[in-house]
Chain A
């Protein structure tokens, strides 16, 4: 009887679990120690926040696009894709989708979660609890990652698995009337229920003087 019960739940769960176990999507090396599980866990919802939110989001998806995985960007019209390329994103693996009107937005994101590894979004309006949990469930079911970019957290009824935020500490290379922006030193903070403990902090170059993302 006990065995029967286990059998009944296992098939679907095993598929999901094995997919999850197999894959933590890679992130740039300086982020490995900061993120729970050392990367982007398939099926997770995370958020980037703070004044460097866009750079963080683009930096995080770089390595996976280089490995041939796809990333979709929904309705973040202002995202500087040139910067994405410089931060290591393989643009040939990026799908840019217009922000549909709020009624179509959930279906759009849903379809993309089904197709690509990571979907970068910013909620266009307050999401209902049902819509939000359907999207989260879709990501979990498909093993894709839902990443909120910038501070739209209040529009989501549930909090993300973790939030990664950063603030800019200093820019290198620029003076008062000379030079140009070259490297940025940021302080990264990761908080959330998946972090399992106090917030994690790290200090990185985003980007460094050589254009790469590195530990400081």
Chain B
């Protein structure tokens, strides 16, 4: 197929958000995004906290944990130093996300005498930039994804670097789990389907024929299949733009604050993409360049699997501005903060590929927002934070709070993948759903006729019929109906996080209905049908 795999080096600093939030001491700390843990420190992890938990659950397992909100700007500010320290080794450093960068090794490897010495050199530089206070893992292999997996393998093997010999990436990738695709592609539903079909590792996925994949899973499936076989998505139809497609913006009033840059970032991103879309291409690698009032020149490259949408592009420019304009305080800066504001900002597409439309949600597709709504989203997110403005999806889960999934709104209103809701979820309370779901369940007392607390057996049998409910701060109310139990045993495979809960619906004497939950012998008011 003429596919080439670019020999690539990946540097990955795990749990980067934790380092960025608290460089140094290893207190328990979690970084939380939309109420869920996205990164946690070693201390928190050893207390049983893991990525994906709800904030409340993390605090339950580790009460002294410090909770910090997710802030990509902060992450990039800290990461900019790491990227800058490699500028001496190669000019081609590309940031994928804060905490992860890559570059092609061909030139540097030859210069430093091979992949191993290059890996050592890179590790030395990164260690120095991090003062040895945070681990970094290096992977070198054919193709970005293989190199990324190699960096994971290095961590698993308690080494710092792993070099997969040239031509051995297929064998190397074969044993990795299918879910590792999620590190580079947003294809949770596809991976879920594949795993349920028994395709548990990449070796099995890569054995399927391209034709079958295309017929059943469409472009999304093809993209994931390519990655699973160790090919980069990018070089597929890679073109280096011949003409100069860069867009730039001059500021009469030098740009010195990130919030002012947000609008410039968005405008530039839209300008670049509308230019590219006229040519029928999308950008996969972009250089962000800025010049300061004092004449300093700053530049950084970003790469992405698949083409960058307006929003993704604007986001990266915003993060980069954050990295330049507000360097992390007290950090021993490798690249000193610009001494003056920025007077010029430009974006240059370094690689483009035919744009086959933007990545669509796997099940849903793309919904476009009105320009008005889009502007409001950008404005509110710049004032309140990205997390504060969200779009909603529904997915299958037993817990009424968990069935609604909220993700930060992208100004173009694109939703990620969503799960079909009609799958039967055992233990799910039948509809209608409660109109009010309490963020924190309220402790209540449920008593029988004789005023004794009603107990629940392991199988959900009640010791007596519930007759009275007592809520804190409310008068006692008699119950005129109840139903249940609905049993939910969640994550039974995991000792730490398994929960066994039993739910009941009750109505009080004012015909107000409530959803109660019994866990560990205590009654909680989870939701109300208000």
Binding site for B on A (CB under 8 A): 51-55, 58, 70, 77-86, 91-92, 94-98, 100, 104, 107-108, 111-112, 114-116, 167-171, 174-182, 184, 207, 211
Interfacial chain A residues near B430, Cβ < 8 Å: 180-182
Let me know if B435 is at the binding interface, CB within 8 A. Answer: yes
> How far, in Å, is A203 (CB) from chain B's closest CB?
14
* Inter-chain contacts of B400 with A (CB < 8 A): 80, 82
Q: How far is the CA of A174 from the CA of B511 in the complex (A)?
A: 11
B431 contacts which chain A residues (CB < 8 A)?
A: 86, 211
State A86–B511 Cα separation when bound (angstroms): 20
- Asked whether A175 lies within 8 Å of B436 as measured between CB atoms, the reply is no
How close is B351's CB to chain A, nearest CB, in angstroms? 33
> CA separation between A179 and B413, bound complex, in Å?
40
Among A79, A82, A175, point to the contact of B481 (Cβ < 8 A). Answer: A175
Contact residues in A for B513 (Cβ distance below 8 Å): 168, 171, 174, 181, 184
Contact A100 B529 (CB under 8 A): no
Contact B530 A53 (CB under 8 A): yes
B-chain residues with CB within 8 Å of residue A171 when the two chains form the complex: 481, 507, 511, 513
Which of B19-27, B217-225, B236-244, B386-394 forms contacts with chain A? Answer: B386-394
Q: Which of A70, A108, A111, A181 has the most CB of B within 10 A?
A: A181
- Whether B434 lies near A83 (C-beta < 8 A) is yes
Contact B483–A55 (Cβ < 8 Å): no
Q: Are A82 and B433 in contact (CB under 8 A)?
A: yes
Which residues on the A side are within 8 Å of B481 (C-beta)? 171, 174-176
Question: How far apart are B48's CB and chain A's nearest CB, in angstroms?
Answer: 26
**Bitwise interface map of B from 479 to 511 toward A, beta carbon under 8 Å scored 1, else 0:** 001110000000000000000000001010011
- Among the stretches B177-185, B300-308, B340-348, B369-377, the one at the interface with A is B369-377
Q: Kindly state the separation between the CA atoms of A176 and B462 in the bound complex, as whole angstroms.
A: 12
Do A116 and B373 have beta carbons less than 8 Å apart?
A: yes
List which B202-217 residues lie within 8 A (CB) of chain A: none
Name the residue on B nearest A97 (C-beta): B389
Q: Is B439 an interface residue (CB 8 A)?
A: yes
Q: Which residues of A contact B379 (CB under 8 A)?
A: 111
- Interface contact A94-B391, CB-CB below 8 Å: yes
Pick the contact of A181 from B364, B394, B437, B483 — CB < 8 Å?
A: B483
**How many inter-chain residue pairs (CB < 8 Å) link A and B?**
157
Interface pick from B122-130, B137-145, B226-234, B401-409? B401-409
Cβ A115 vs Cβ B437 within 8 A: no
**Which among B413, B415, B436, B511 is the interface contact of A169 at CB below 8 angstroms?**
B511
Partner of A107, one of B383, B438, B511: B383
Shortest Cβ distance from B390 into A: residue: A96
Contact A91 B393 (CB under 8 A): yes
Contact of A85 among B383, B394, B437, B511 (CB under 8 A): B394
Q: Chain B interface (Cβ within 8 Å of chain A)?
A: 364, 367, 369-370, 372-373, 375-377, 379-380, 383-384, 387-394, 400, 403-404, 406, 409, 413, 415, 429-439, 465, 481-483, 505, 507, 510-513, 527, 529-530
* A83 touching B433 in the complex, CB below 8 Å, given contacts A114-B376, A175-B483: yes
Is B391 a contact of A100 with CB atoms below 8 Å?
Answer: no
Instruction: A115 to B413: give the CA distance in the assembly, Å.
Output: 13
**Interface residue SS majority, chain A:** mixed
Given contacts A51-B512, A52-B530, A86-B432, contact A98 B388 (CB under 8 A): yes
- Measured between beta carbons, the chain A residues less than 8 angstroms from B364 are 92
Please report the C-alpha to C-alpha distance between residue A163 and residue B505 in the assembled complex, in whole angstroms. 29
**B433 to A168, Cβ gap below 8 A?**
no
CB B377 to nearest CB in A, in angstroms, measures 7
- Which residues of chain A are near B375, meaning CB under 8 Å? 115
Most buried by A among B387, B400, B435: B435
Q: Which of B391, B429, B435, B510 contacts A96 (CB 8 A)?
A: B391
Contacts of A104 in B (CB 8 A): 383-384
With A92-B392, A98-B387 already in contact, 18 other A-B pairs whose C-beta atoms are closer than 8 Å: A52-B530, A78-B438, A80-B404, A81-B404, A82-B404, A83-B432, A85-B394, A91-B392, A95-B409, A115-B372, A115-B373, A115-B375, A116-B376, A168-B513, A174-B483, A177-B465, A181-B483, A184-B511
A85 to B404, CA, bound (A): 10
Of the A-B pairs whose beta carbons lie under 8 Å apart in the complex, a sample of 21, sorted by A's number, is A52-B530, A54-B530, A55-B529, A77-B439, A82-B404, A82-B437, A83-B529, A92-B391, A94-B391, A95-B389, A96-B391, A97-B384, A98-B384, A108-B380, A115-B376, A168-B513, A174-B507, A177-B483, A180-B483, A181-B505, A211-B431
* B377 cross-chain contacts in A, Cβ below 8 A: 95
How far, in whole Å, are A178 and B513 apart by their CA atoms in the complex?
Answer: 15
Q: Are B370 and A179 in contact (CB under 8 A)?
A: no
Closest to B393 in A: A91
A78 x B439 contact (CB < 8 A): yes
Chain A residues closer than 8 Å to B415, beta-carbon distance: 92
| Docked complex Cα distance between A201 and B482 (Å) | 29
Residues of B within 8 A of A98 (CB): 384, 387-389
Complex contacts, A115 vs chain B, CB 8 Å: 370, 372-373, 375-376
Bound form: Cα–Cα A117–B245 in Å: 39
CA separation between A84 and B432, bound complex, in Å? 10
Check if A70 sits within 8 Å of B373, measured CB to CB. Answer: yes
Q: Nearest chain-A residue to B370 (Cβ)?
A: A70
Q: Taking the nearest CB of chain A, how far is it from the CB of B98, in angstroms?
A: 23
A108 adjacent to B384 (CB under 8 Å): yes
Instruction: Please give the distance in Å from A79's CB to the nearest CB on chain B.
Output: 7
Task: List, in ascending order, chain B residues with CB within 8 A of A55's CB.
Answer: 435, 529-530
Residues of B within 8 A of A178 (CB): 483
| Distance, CA A92 to CA B369, complexed state (A) | 10
